[in-house]
Amino acid sequence: MSDLVWQHMNLCPGGDPGTVISDAALAVRDGRIMWLGAASDLPREFAAWPREDLGGAWVTPSLVDCHTHLVFGGHRADEFALRLAGASYEEIARRGGGIVSTVKATRAADENALFEAAAARLEPLLTEGVGAIEIKSGYGLELATERKMLRVARALGRRYPVSVYTTFLGAHALPPEYAGRADAYIDEVCNRMLPALADEGLVDAVDVFCERIGFTLAQSERVFEAAARHGLSVKMHAEQLSLSGGAALSARYRALSADHLEFLDEAGVQAMKEAGTVAVLLPGAYYFIRETQLPPIELLRRYEVPIALATDCNPGTSPAVSLLAMLNLGCTLFRLTVPEVLQGVTRHAARALGRSEHHGELAPGRQADFVAWSVTTLAELAYWIGRPLAARVVRAGATVY
Ligand code: NIG
Ligand code: FE
């Protein structure tokens, strides 16, 4: 590692297009940012350092995908066909398809196969500019397979230039062997699975699917209490298909985020504001299951709840491997603004992971993780659909893509 001054760029250090430094410079030593600002203000101590010219590119912090189910076996293109023929996501789940069919495929896959399948989905995200990603378990629903998924997530973080944060989602669906015994399964999640996986260092946070086809408020609360006993932060799949009060419960447990939120009400928004819980919106899932209930964007704005956006990459509701595409969907479907979606995949997404100190912003002292975009305005990031825009992806000062 060495010293380098990156120059000739429009720098957007906070992910907010309102604050751009034109003709900026960025001094990096051993992978860390030493200084950033207008090139004309570059302090003398950096003047003699080698230079790297970015040719007038626009630079943002690396993107953060704060909600994914990237690791899973198989896919559900067959179920997609059923839905095209009229079946709803919820109907398919009730018939024993949906999440449970992915559970079968994930249990059957060995660790290598699972790694390769997930890597194929991770690569397009990374070349697009993602530098940090959350990966959930939740397709094992038994200790051994939940462990296998989380190990694969950790292994991806070692193999690829990305920070991986793992979330234990044991309470994603009721495994068939517990049919009619949901409380007994929650016992297993709280008393056996979570303690074991947390002890093995495989868990960074804990999530629950609180829904008619998931778990009740009371069951979700038991999982949150178990997480608290292990000193782990929580998040929730909340108010996705119906209003259950999950977001308000999450806020009571100081959740990092409540995610989906199409059916969120004002009381929930207010509770999230007071707790500092981030609203993670998943426009890919909204789009893919043809939801019509929009998340309460105006209320989230009025209460100034930070909004993040993520791919929710998963085989059932969002087979998406592009975070930039989510910017477009966030703007077109949710009427979010360009500054909102950009901060939604930088600053606010980092906060949804409880990692604001490490990701989502460029500042002296931080690791030099940034993307140089070949665009003429940052609005292009939300405008194009499916067009590669990252000219360079830099991690710890080194060009990785
Ligand atoms: O985020 N809602 C629950 N979990 C996922 C979907 C999982 C699946 O269908 O496989 C989601 O939408
Ligand atoms: Fe999800």
Which amino acid, 133?
A: I
285 lines ligand 1 (CB under 6 A): yes
Q: pTM of the predicted model, to two decimals?
A: 0.98
Ligand showing the shortest atom-to-Cα distance for residue 80:
1
Instruction: Give per-residue pLDDT as tens, 133-163.
Output: 999 999 999 999 999 999 999 999 999 999 9
In this prediction, residue 1 carries a pLDDT of 53
346 lines ligand 1 (CB under 6 A): no
Q: How far apart are CA 305 and CA 130, in angstroms?
A: 23
Cα Dmax for the chain: 70
Ligand showing the shortest atom-to-Cα distance for residue 214:
1
283 lines ligand 1 (CB under 6 A): no
Phi, psi angle pair for 319, to nearest 5° = -75, 65
CA of residue 155 to ligand 2 center, whole Å:
21
Which atom in ligand 1 lies closest to the alpha carbon of residue 99? 10
Least reliable range by pLDDT among 97-101, 118-122, 173-177:
97-101
CA of residue 374 to ligand 2 center, whole Å:
31
Q: How far apart are CA 255 and CA 190, in angstroms?
A: 17
Which atom in ligand 1 lies closest to the alpha carbon of residue 316? 9
Ligand showing the shortest atom-to-Cα distance for residue 105:
1
Q: How far apart are CA 141 and CA 336, in angstroms?
A: 35
Structure tokens at 53: 């010219």
State whether residue 77 is helix, strand or coil.
helix
98 lines ligand 1 (CB under 6 A): yes
pLDDT band at 96 (very low <50, low <70, confident <90, very high): confident
In this prediction, residue 15 carries a pLDDT of 85
Beta-strand runs (E) in 232-351: 233-238, 257-260, 278-281, 307-309
Q: 21-34: buried (b, 16+ CB within 10 Å) or exposed (e) per residue? A: beebbbbbbebebb
Which atom in ligand 1 lies closest to the alpha carbon of residue 312? 1
Contact (CB, 8 A) for 330 and 309: yes
CA of residue 386 to ligand 2 center, whole Å:
22
CA of residue 39 to ligand 1 center, whole Å:
46
CA of residue 398 to ligand 2 center, whole Å:
32
Instruction: Give per-residue pLDDT as tens, 34-88.
Output: 999 999 999 999 999 999 999 999 999 999 999 999 999 999 999 999 999 999 9
Q: How far apart are CA 24 and CA 59, in angstroms?
A: 9
ipTM of the complex in this document? 0.96
Which amino acid, 308?
A: A
Name the packing angle between helices 99-108 and 143-159 (round to 10°).
70
Give, as one character, the DSSP assignment of residue 165.
E
Which amino acid, 270?
A: Q
> In Å, how far are 16, 63, 214, 310 from 344, measured between CA atoms?
10, 9, 27, 8
Q: How far apart are CA 383 and CA 310, in angstroms?
A: 17
343 lines ligand 1 (CB under 6 A): no
CA of residue 35 to ligand 1 center, whole Å:
42
Name the packing angle between helices 323-334 and 111-128 (round to 10°).
60
Instruction: Give per-residue pLDDT as tens, 342-387.
Output: 999 999 999 999 999 999 999 999 999 999 999 999 999 999 999 9
CA of residue 316 to ligand 1 center, whole Å:
6
137 lines ligand 1 (CB under 6 A): no
Contact (CB, 8 A) for 65 and 19: no
